[in-house]
Amino acid sequence: MSRYPQQMPMPGYNPGSNAGYPQQAPRMPEPQDFSEYGSDYRGRQSLPIDEMSRLGLNEQTHHRPHHLGQQTHTHDFQTETQRQTQEQRQELQHHPSNVVVGPLLRYDRIDMAAKVWRGSCLIVSDDVKPPVLSLHIGSEKGASRTLHAHATLLDVYRNEFHFWRFPLEIPLADHEQTIVYTATCFVARMNFTFHLPSYNENMRFMFYSCNGFTDVSPDLAKELGAPNHPLWQDVMDKHRLIPFHVLLGGGDQLYSDDMIEEDYMKPWRNETDIPKRLSMSAEPFREPMERFYFNNYVKNFGPKGNPLVAEAFSSIPSVNMWDDHDIIDGYGTYPADMQNAPLFQVERAVSDGMIRGTLSTCNSIITTLGPQVAVLALDARGERTKYDICRPQTYKTIFEHLYRMVPSTTRHLIVITGVPVIYPRLTFFENAMDGLRDFNLASLVGKTGPLSGIINGQLNNWNGDPELLDDMNDHWGAGNHENERRLFIEALQKFAKHRSIRVTFIAGDVHCCAAGKLYSKDMREKEEGDPHLMMQVVSSAIVNAPPPQALLTYLGQNSSPISFNGNTEEKMYNIFKQSPNGNSRTNQKLMGRRNYCAGYFDPDRNKLCFWIQTEIEPGQKHTAGYLLAAPQLLFGPAGLQHLSYRQ
């Protein structure tokens, strides 16, 4: 069986000192000016084929074998459990409850200095009294210990279902650890398992998006393997062979599109007078809307409605960023008067509904996946409008946090954006559809075949615009977002230069897989020294159906290299030279197969490897892998410092 390269600390790193994780990061340069846009603004260099064969990353194996180490930490993450009373121990044995969601594991961060993994576990049940979570840490030598976590009540739905969050702090060791856990709300001996990396190891990760069906007939869903979700079966097969440490959710973790078809939405759907529709009181919709969202989340994440996904989220801690379908299709791309209508405010208030929090509606995430890899999950939906993806001040805040929070040992930054930053332009569709209704758009390009149906489509039930218009406005390359996209990329280029960190984008949304890059035209053969080299991984969808082949053919034919700025160019890779079953392909840039992405850091080459695992046959769980490997960046003082570690 082929293996991952061995994960080792960076040369020169001494785990017993602070040298590997300097307390003081390099001084932050002047911030990028994002004031040029806003609501008022108008205006594979990868591993060679023989290396792929050596690693053996295909539908059967794509992880390095998991080995438990030789020791176990002897200190607890919660000192009060050391003083646990006999009454508290008896509490561990009360009767099982009705658990509708959970356990659902969330990864937060690793405290590098303390060598502690931090995360949480969510359980939604009818327990009125707080459950207790017990975690058992074992090792190959037989040494083990048990920790306990106590719940915090987040919310109560209809005085019945309680949202219990368990904060977790688990000491890391110099070897990987297996955590077996359970809670008092589960039937006796019902255990769950997850895996933690060593403190000097970078996490093996899995990226997914578009985790559900929308506008798919029951027959097609069945043909694609519903309700068994074969790609999630494939994920769990690989996880059982060599465990993932974290799931990265790129948006559309579930689909709430069906809400518009509910009976209680008829007044909105049937009202043709736009001012009357927008001024409708939210009160008649509040309770049924809350019920819809609760039931939809339970159906998609609960063990009864979606057992495979529930198993994955109980076995692999996750970091998730929402996109539009988690709320409604196209959220944020509708006109301002509609986005501000009373109906659109029902589930945003802090004190009402199930969406709670003390922060603003826009919440991005910055964390690390180990000493050499960091992640920025950009919230590109929380404050989106037709003209803004994020506000200028939000970008300023994000980059201030990047410079401050990303450790100096970091060599790679993964940027999760929901919608791809680098992707074939949809400008033609955008211009053709904007403001047009009931018009034969296909006639504009003389299309009468399959593409005509794609372009014409249907009208959106929320506002009557062509169904694809909100998808056009979603894209970073849309005319309304073009300047914002340029400023965001240029700020990342500045960050990459200053910190000698390779930036790689990963996204979903488009229901196909692809890969692209930004690069300096005069450094094509010197990728390690090119700070403008930023690769794009597109991985979508793990459940939803692929788009019509005619659309992908059109996009593939209209994806020539584009000048970005100055010496920087962008293009799509010809990565799919063969189909998963071995046949040659005409469209080598985009593939309409369901997929997910598995990744790891290769310490021997300092590359971050992304394997796009694509469905071989529709409805079958086996996958084939396509590799994109992002090289390290050696640029400036930070790059020279990293070279000194290696030498």
414-440 average pLDDT score:
69
Given this model, what pLDDT does residue 280 score?
87
> How do 246-249 and 205-208 pair as beta strands?
parallel
Q: What is the chain's mean pLDDT, rounded? A: 78
The residue type found at 316 is I
Regarding predicted confidence, which is higher, 566 or 544? Answer: 544
Domain co-membership, 56 together with 87: no
Domain co-membership, 372 together with 394: yes
> How do 318-320 and 365-368 pair as beta strands?
unpaired
Q: How far, in Å, CA of 71 to CA of 568, rounded?
A: 50
Yes or no: say if 232 and 309 are a contact pair by the CB < 8 Å rule.
yes
Domain encompassing residue 186: 79-196
For 522-552, the pLDDT digits (tens) are 887 789 999 999 999 999 989 999 988 888 8
Regarding predicted confidence, which is higher, 445 or 29? Answer: 29
Query: Residue 347 class from Cβ within 10 Å (0-12 exposed, 13-18 middle, 19+ buried)?
Result: middle
148 within some domain:
yes
- Read off the pLDDT band of 114 (50, 70, 90): very high
Given this model, what pLDDT does residue 37 score?
62
Among the candidates 196, 225, 257, a domain finishes at: 196
Q: What is the CATH number of the domain that holds 113?
A: 2.60.40.10
Given this model, what pLDDT does residue 311 score?
96
**Which two structure tokens, joined as six digits, stand for 378?**
């950009």
609 within some domain:
yes
164 within some domain:
yes
Domain co-membership, 104 together with 213: no
Q: Which residues contact 589 (CB under 8 A, 6 or more apart)?
A: 424, 514, 555, 556, 559, 572, 573, 574, 575, 576
Q: How far, in Å, CA of 589 to CA of 570, rounded?
A: 13
Domain co-membership, 511 together with 608: yes
Domain co-membership, 230 together with 144: no
Given this model, what pLDDT does residue 644 score?
45
Domain co-membership, 151 together with 210: no
214 within some domain:
yes
23 within some domain:
no
State the total domains in the chain.
2
Our measurement of the distance from residue 563's CA atom to the centroid of its chain's CA atoms, rounded to an integer in Å, reads: 28
What is the end-to-end Cα distance of the chain in Å, rounded?
32
Phi (first) and psi of residue 149, to 5 degrees? -120, 140
Given this model, what pLDDT does residue 414 score?
98
**Which two structure tokens, joined as six digits, stand for 80?**
């009060």
584 within some domain:
yes
Q: What is the CATH number of the domain that holds 234?
A: 3.30.750.180
Domain co-membership, 243 together with 109: no
For 294-342, the pLDDT digits (tens) are 999 999 999 999 999 999 999 999 999 987 787 777 776 777 777 777 7
Domain co-membership, 87 together with 157: yes
Domain co-membership, 571 together with 509: yes
Complete DSSP assignment for 274-329: HHHHHT--SHHHHHHHHHHHHHHHHHHHSTTT-HHHHHHHHHS-EEE---GGGTST
- Read off the pLDDT band of 347 (50, 70, 90): low
Given this model, what pLDDT does residue 478 score?
82
- Read off the pLDDT band of 386 (50, 70, 90): confident
For 130-173, the pLDDT digits (tens) are 999 999 997 655 667 889 999 999 999 998 999 999 999 999 99
Among the candidates 162, 196, 230, a domain finishes at: 196
Domain co-membership, 482 together with 528: yes
Given this model, what pLDDT does residue 588 score?
94
Which parts of 356-449 fold into alpha helices (H)?
Answer: 392-405, 427-433
Among the candidates 155, 175, 196, a domain finishes at: 196
Given this model, what pLDDT does residue 483 score?
93
Given this model, what pLDDT does residue 427 score?
61
Domain co-membership, 411 together with 517: yes
For 53-109, the pLDDT digits (tens) are 333 343 333 332 222 222 333 333 443 334 344 444 444 444 557 999 989 999 999
Give, in order, the Cα–Cα distances in Å from 30 to each of 394, 495, 498: 16, 10, 11
Domain co-membership, 110 together with 146: yes
284 within some domain:
no
For 186-237, the pLDDT digits (tens) are 876 689 999 999 999 999 999 999 988 888 888 998 889 888 899 999 999 9
For 263-304, the pLDDT digits (tens) are 988 988 888 888 888 888 888 888 998 899 999 999 999 999
Given this model, what pLDDT does residue 363 score?
84
For 457-493, the pLDDT digits (tens) are 444 454 444 444 446 677 888 888 899 999 999 999 9
Given this model, what pLDDT does residue 216 score?
85
Given this model, what pLDDT does residue 132 score?
92
Give, in order, the Cα–Cα distances in Å from 487 to each of 136, 225, 491: 48, 42, 6
Q: Which residues contact 450 (CB under 8 A, 6 or more apart)?
A: 548, 549, 550
Q: What pTM, to 2 d.p., does this model score?
A: 0.80
Tell whether the model's pLDDT for residue 612 goes beyond 60.
Answer: yes
- Read off the pLDDT band of 558 (50, 70, 90): confident
495 within some domain:
yes
Given this model, what pLDDT does residue 608 score?
98
Given this model, what pLDDT does residue 400 score?
92
Give the percent of the chain with pLDDT over 70. Answer: 72
Given this model, what pLDDT does residue 204 score?
98
